[in-house]
Amino acid sequence: MSSSADSGSDRAESLHGRIGHQVQLPFVNAVRIAWRNIRVRLARSLLVTSGIILALAFLTYILCSDSLARNIAEQGQTRYVEQLLKQGILADLGDADARVQTWWLVGLALLVSFVGILNAMLLSVTERFKEIGTMKCLGALDGLIVQLFLLESTFQGVVGTAIGITIGVLLTLVEGMGLYGATMWTLVPVGNMAALVGICLLAGTGLTIVGALYPAWRAAKMQPVDAMRAEI
Amino acid sequence: MPEKPQEAEVPEVMLATETAAPKRGAEEDKAGLLAVHVIRAVGVKRIFYLGGEPVNALRGVDLSVKRGEYVSIMGPSGSGKTTLFNMIGGLDKPDQGHVYIDEVDVAALDTFELAWLRCHKIGYIFQTFNLIPVASAIENVMFPMLFAGTTQAEAQQKAAELLKRVGLGARIFHKPVALSGGQQQRVAVARALANDPAIVLADEPTGNLDLHTGEEIIRMLEGLKEDFHVTVMSATHDHKMLAASDRVVYLSDGAISHIKRREELDIKFGTLQGDDKGVG
Ligand SMILES: Nc1ncnc2c1ncn2[C@@H]1O[C@H](COP(=O)(O)OP(=O)(O)O)[C@@H](O)[C@H]1O
Ligand SMILES: [Mg+2]
């Protein structure tokens, strides 16, 4: 990459400075443009983000309700364990099957998240092909286009993930209240759940960025004419 | 420059003498840096394949455009106007032949030089305006400047001046949806001028506008030639949009059929004005 840039500036020199060398914008400029894009498209972005929200709410709920149930069981609150067993939520704590089932659900939630996010990002890129083509006509470098989409998706990822996690945690607590009553509050595994929330935040944001990479790269590589002609 | 009907014909927006761009051209020419022909197409061919069938969009086009000239490319739909514009604008590459901008072969440029060319050297105007829908008029005009590395404040000031210049001083914060077609195209004209380009390429700029508004845009392009020393290339399939041209190049089925000079044209703005009093 850098070698081609060097040879480019050499050639530009030999052409009496007729053709220059497009500058790479400081990162903060890309952040500013991306942030404005997000703000202006808030409604639209929220729609795209809803996929992320749902997926992360699901993932967080699975992990946190499992953690809560385990904690209640481990604290020796036998009456709750009986209740748990009756409901089949926690067949047997020492049972490997239960763990396998939880991990299976977590895997499913992750898959749902990834597909939802990838779909959302593909959608948001393809509906803006014409805009990307125009930007390239105006002198935007491929790298800037990638940066813009990655930044936008990072914003979306963080916000969507945060909302999703909040919903997931609330669901867990509301359900806990329903099942175990007010004593549930003394038995919330705060540290454990905070760690899970952290993991979910990383997973959601990470998946969003990974999901945005391919569409953003594809959009940036497109010839401006093709991008502008693309019908959606 | 041929004689210009200064007083009566020029619409008031054109009379706002505040020019955002420095008067270039003259001094640079003296330095001998710039070639006479700002655009030179030599034997340009472009073949597309549609389901395996070749489509000869351009069959060997030779064309030289002088600095400061206003050239119209006239031809029916499908004659290859857009394909030619894409070659000249560095948006597509010829299968055969060469396009030289300021005597530099566009095909030889790397990504960074190509982006620089699109950003600094050429201003694009499209039939469908192609404004960024979520951005206001002033933000649209600022984009090319921001891509060029201009500071936010500087870009803002210049964009405001340019919008005033095209008669949109009161609407700089409007989104494209809140603007009429003619107003959107004015924003596009201002955007095309953002980085003081040498060339403005307008591909059917009046295609989506009514006769009256279209004529205003054409006059505006003609004014740019005078005030910004830009070379204007404009494509149209509408005979009525040729009045500003120094030269009209007739394109037919991917090849130049003939070329008319300004004095050979029988169409003038004056005759049009009489015709469309009721329009617009
Ligand atoms: N990307 C493409 N793929 C296939 N055919 C194309 C493509 N672009 C243009 N053409 C064909 O090339 C010819 C010239 O098209 P174009 O340059 O758009 O004409 P104009 O702008 O004068 O209407 C047409 O026959 C058109 O169908
Ligand atoms: Mg066309």
**Which of B44, B49, B55 to probe ligand 1 with, by most ligand atoms within 8 A of CB?**
B55
B54 in contact with ligand 1, CB cutoff 6 A: no
Residue nearest to atom 12 of ligand 1 (CA): B57
Give the DSSP H or E segment for B217.
Answer: helix B211-228
Q: Does B112 touch chain A (CB under 8 A)?
A: yes
pLDDT at A24 over 90: no
Closest CB to B147: pick one of A12, A37, A139: A139
Tell me which residue range forms the domain holding A161. Answer: 26-228
Residue at A130 is within a domain = yes
Please choose, from the candidates B43, B59, B185, B117, the residue with its C-alpha nearest in 3D space to the C-alpha of residue A224.
Answer: B117
Q: How many CA atoms lie within 13 A of B238 on its CB side?
A: 19
Ligand closest to the CA atom of residue B128: 2
B50 in contact with ligand 1, CB cutoff 6 A: yes
**C-alpha to C-alpha distance for B127 and A65, rounded to whole angstroms:** 57
Nearest CA in chain A to B192: A138
Q: Which residues contact A182 (CB under 8 A, 6 or more apart)?
A: none
Residue B61 phi/psi, 5-degree rounding, is -100, 125
Ligand closest to the CA atom of residue A223: 1
Q: Does residue A135 contact residue B132 with C-beta atoms inside 8 Å?
A: yes
Give percent helix, percent strand, percent coil of chain B, each to the nearest 5. Answer: 40, 25, 35
pLDDT classification of A80: cutoffs 50, 70, 90: low
- What is this model's ipTM? 0.79
Compute the Cα dihedral for B114, B118, B124, B126 and give only its sign: positive
B119 to A138: CB separation less than 8 angstroms, yes or no: yes
Residue at A51 is within a domain = yes
Residue nearest to atom 25 of ligand 1 (CA): B78
Q: Does A225 touch chain B (CB under 8 A)?
A: yes
Cα separation values, B20 from B11, B99, B165, B172, B228, Å: 18, 30, 8, 16, 9
**Which of B73, B83, B253 to probe ligand 1 with, by most ligand atoms within 8 A of CB?**
B83
**C-alpha to C-alpha distance for A227 and A131, rounded to whole angstroms:** 8
Please choose, from the candidates A154, A145, A142, A139, the residue with its C-alpha nearest in 3D space to the C-alpha of residue A125.
Answer: A145
CA B63 to centroid of ligand 2, rounded, Å: 18
Residue ranges with strand state E in chain B: 37-50, 53-66, 70-74, 96-101, 104-105, 122-125, 199-203, 231-236, 247-252, 255-261
Residue at A39 is within a domain = yes
Give the best residue of B116, B150, B174 to mutate against chain A (max A CB count within 10 A). Answer: B116
* B231 bridge partner residues: B199
pLDDT classification of A77: cutoffs 50, 70, 90: low
Nearest CA in chain A to B104: A15
* Placement of tokens 């010829």 in the chain: B94
**C-alpha to C-alpha distance for B147 and A136, rounded to whole angstroms:** 10
B203 or A213, which is more confident?
B203
CA B77 to centroid of ligand 2, rounded, Å: 6
B184 in contact with ligand 1, CB cutoff 6 A: no
**C-alpha to C-alpha distance for B158 and B192, rounded to whole angstroms:** 13
The size of the A-B interface in CB pairs under 8 A is 107
Distance, in angstroms, between B98 CA and closest chain A CA? 16
pLDDT classification of B3: cutoffs 50, 70, 90: very low
Please choose, from the candidates A156, A132, A171, A170, the residue with its C-alpha nearest in 3D space to the C-alpha of residue A207.
Answer: A156
Region at B40 (left for phi over 0; alpha for psi -120 to 50; beta for the rest): beta
Token pair of A162 as six digits? 């945060």
**C-alpha to C-alpha distance for A207 and A221, rounded to whole angstroms:** 22
What is the per-residue pLDDT across B136-186, written as a single tens digit (0 to 9) for each? 999 999 999 999 999 999 999 999 999 999 999 999 999 999 999 999 999
Cα separation values, A39 from A35, A155, B131, Å: 6, 10, 18
Residue ranges with strand state E in B69-198: 70-74, 96-101, 104-105, 122-125
Closest CB to A138: pick one of B101, B118, B152: B118
What is the per-residue pLDDT across A107-116, written as a single tens digit (0 to 9) for each? 887 787 778 7
* Confidence at residue A52, expressed as pLDDT on a 0 to 100 scale: 82
**C-alpha to C-alpha distance for A220 and A142, rounded to whole angstroms:** 5
B75 in contact with ligand 1, CB cutoff 6 A: yes
What is the per-residue pLDDT across B97-107, written as a single tens digit (0 to 9) for each? 999 999 999 99
Mean pLDDT of chain B: 85
Rounded to an integer, the average pLDDT of B126-144 is 93
User: Would you give the end-to-end CA distance of chain A in angstroms?
Assistant: 32
Single-letter residue type at A43: A
Q: Does residue B146 contact residue A33 with C-beta atoms inside 8 Å?
A: yes
Q: What residues does each domain of chain B span?
A: 66-90+109-273
Rounded to an integer, the average pLDDT of A22-30 is 81
DSSP B206: T
pLDDT classification of A158: cutoffs 50, 70, 90: confident
A22 to B135: CB separation less than 8 angstroms, yes or no: no
Residue nearest to atom 5 of ligand 1 (CA): B48
* B53 bridge partner residues: B50
B130 to A130: CB separation less than 8 angstroms, yes or no: yes
Q: Does B135 touch chain A (CB under 8 A)?
A: yes
Q: Does residue B188 contact residue B215 with C-beta atoms inside 8 Å?
A: no
**C-alpha to C-alpha distance for A218 and A158, rounded to whole angstroms:** 23
* B37 bridge partner residues: B66
Please choose, from the candidates B138, B137, B147, B152, the residue with its C-alpha nearest in 3D space to the C-alpha of residue B117.
Answer: B147
Q: Which residues contact B235 (CB under 8 A, 6 or more apart)?
A: B72, B73, B74, B75, B81, B82, B84, B85, B202, B203, B204
**C-alpha to C-alpha distance for A109 and A63, rounded to whole angstroms:** 10
A96 or A154, which is more confident?
A154
* Confidence at residue A11, expressed as pLDDT on a 0 to 100 scale: 39
What is the per-residue pLDDT across B219-245, written as a single tens digit (0 to 9) for each? 999 998 888 889 999 999 888 889 889
B66-90+109-273 under CATH 3.40.50.300, yes or no: yes
A11 to B134: CB separation less than 8 angstroms, yes or no: no
pTM for the complete prediction? Answer: 0.77
Nearest CA in chain B to A227: B91
Distance, in angstroms, between B157 CA and closest chain A CA? 17
* Confidence at residue A230, expressed as pLDDT on a 0 to 100 scale: 64
Q: What is the DSSP string of A199-228?
A: HHHHHHHHHHHHHHHHHHHHHHHS-HHHHH
Q: How many structural domains is chain A composed of?
A: 1
Q: Does residue A229 contact residue A190 with C-beta atoms inside 8 Å?
A: no
